[in-house]
Structure 1
C-alpha cells in the first residue's frame, strides 16, 4: 500500500510512501513509521484530531488514512479490525491489542526499566551499536506513554562504556553538565575521542606486547648460539673449506691454540694490547 501525498504536494508532484507491514512483533517500530508517514501527508488528524479541526476536514482525511493502515496489516490482524469504521478506531484497536490496558502497560514498563538498568556495552561492541540500543529504549518508553530523558541516557552511556573511554568520560563530566547535555553531543564526543585514539595507535606503530619482545629475544639468542661456530675465528669465516671446515672451532685469541674459544680458555687472560707491545719491544732490536 502506497500513500499518495494529500493535496498533491508542491507543483502537483506525488511521492508514494509505502506502509510497513505489522507482523505482531514489530508494533513499536511500525507505529513510529506509520505516524511519521501520516503526519508528513497531513493525515494524522484522522487519528488524533486537532482541537480546532473541522469535522468535514477530518472526515475527508479519514478514508485515505484508514486505507493506508489497512495496507500495512497482515491478514489475520486485518480481519480483527476490519469492522472499525474510522482511522481513530483502527489505531486505538491496534494499540490496545499490542500495548494493552493500563495494568499490562505498567507491567511492560516495569520490565522495560529492568532491561534498561541491565543494559551494558559488550566487549568489542561498536559505540554506535550500543548507542542505538539506548536510543531504541527511549522509543519503547515513548510507545508506552513514558519518557526516557537525555539525562538518564547520558548517565547510562557514561557509566557503561569500556575502560579505554574513561579518559573521555572524565573530561565530559568535568567540563559538561551531564544533567542538561544532549545525548547526541556526548555520543559525538566519545566517538571523536575513540577515533583520535585509534589514529594515535597507528601513528605509534600499534601496541607492542611484552610476550612478542620476549619471543624475539629468545629467537635472537637461539640464532646467536647456532652461529657460534663463526666466533673468534682468525679469518672471520665459520668454515675454512667446504664440509671439512663445517663445525670446527676457531683459534683461541688468548693462548693461540685451536679447538676452543677465548671465552672458554683455561689459561690466565692476557691483556692484548700491552702484551703485543711488550713482545714487539723484546723481539725487535733497539734503534738507539
Structure 2
C-alpha cells in the first residue's frame, strides 16, 4: 500500500504488477483505442487496490490509468525542481558513502544498490561501471587493498558487472574471516600454553 514515504518501492512493485497483468503499455501510451478500454480499467483497478482511500477520492475522476499514474507520481515525486533536489541529495550521499571496518560486503553493496534504485526511479540511471568503481574505492583500504589492487589489474572495470565484483569480494571476505579465526585460535593456544608454563614454574618453585 502506498504511503507518504515508500513511493519509490511502490512504483517499482506496481510497474511489475501491471506488466504481469499485461496492462503496463496503457500507462506508457494512454491509448484512445476503444479496444483498450478493458486494459485501462484493469490498470486503474490495480492502482486503486494499492493506494489509500483518501487518494482514491482525489484521483477517482480521472478517466485513464496513465493520468492516475501521473497524478500519483506528481504528488509524491513533486515538481521538476524538487526532483532535481532529491537527485542532488542522492548523488551527495553516493559520493560520501564509505564502508565501515566492521561492515559486511553484502550490507554495503545493499546501500549502493538502494541509492541506484532511488536514482533510477527519479529518471537517472547510475552506470554499472560507476557503481563498480565506487564500490572498490569505498572499501576499507587496510583490509582490502590487496584484493582491490589485484582486481584493478586483472579486470576491465568498465565492463565488469556489479554482482561479479560483489561475489569476488564476498569470497575474499570469507577467506579473511577464516584467517582471523585461525589467528585467534592460535593466540588462545599460546595463551593457555604460557599459563601452563607459569603454573608449572610456580608449582616447581613452591616444591623447591
TM range (shorter): 0.7 to 0.9
Task: Using structure 2 for the length normalisation, give the TM-score.
Answer: 0.88
Instruction: Give the drift of 1:70.
Output: 0.5
Q: Unpaired segments of 5 or more residues in structure 2?
A: none
- Aligned counterparts, 1:16-55, within 5 A: 21-49=1-29, 55=33
Q: Judge conservation of contact 2:7–2:76 (CA < 8 Å) in 1.
A: yes
For residue 123 of structure 1, the aligned residue among 73, 96, 101 is 101
For residue 186 of structure 1, the aligned residue among 138, 144, 165 is 165
> Number of paired residues?
207
For residue 66 of structure 1, the aligned residue among 41, 44, 48 is 44
SS state at 2:184 partner: coil
Distance across 2 between alignment mates of 1:196 and 1:212: 21
Cα distance 1:120–1:212, how it changes in 2: closer, same or farther (>3 A)?
farther
RMSD between aligned residues: 2.4
**1:220-242 CA distances to partner (integer Å, 9 max, x unpaired)?**
335412431334xxxxxxxxxxx
Does 1:155 pair with 2:155? no
Q: What is aligned with 2:156?
A: 177
Distance across 1 between alignment mates of 2:85 and 2:180: 48
Higher share of residues assigned helix:
2
Q: Unpaired segments of 5 or more residues in structure 1?
A: 1-20, 232-288
Q: What is aligned with 2:112?
A: 134
Distance across 1 between alignment mates of 2:154 and 2:101: 28
Q: Judge conservation of contact 1:66–1:90 (CA < 8 Å) in 2.
A: yes
Cα distance 1:216–1:125, how it changes in 2: closer, same or farther (>3 A)?
same
Distance across 2 between alignment mates of 1:134 and 1:229: 64
For residue 82 of structure 1, the aligned residue among 39, 43, 60 is 60
**1:14-67 CA distances to partner (integer Å, 9 max, x unpaired)?**
xxxxxxx001210000000100111122110110028xx772343220001101
Which is higher, the Rg of structure 1 or of structure 2?
1
Q: What is aligned with 2:202?
A: 225
Task: Using structure 1 for the length normalisation, give the TM-score.
Answer: 0.65
Distance across 1 between alignment mates of 2:107 and 2:188: 33
Q: What is aligned with 1:197?
A: 176
Q: Judge conservation of contact 2:23–2:43 (CA < 8 Å) in 1.
A: yes
Distance across 1 between alignment mates of 2:29 and 2:190: 72
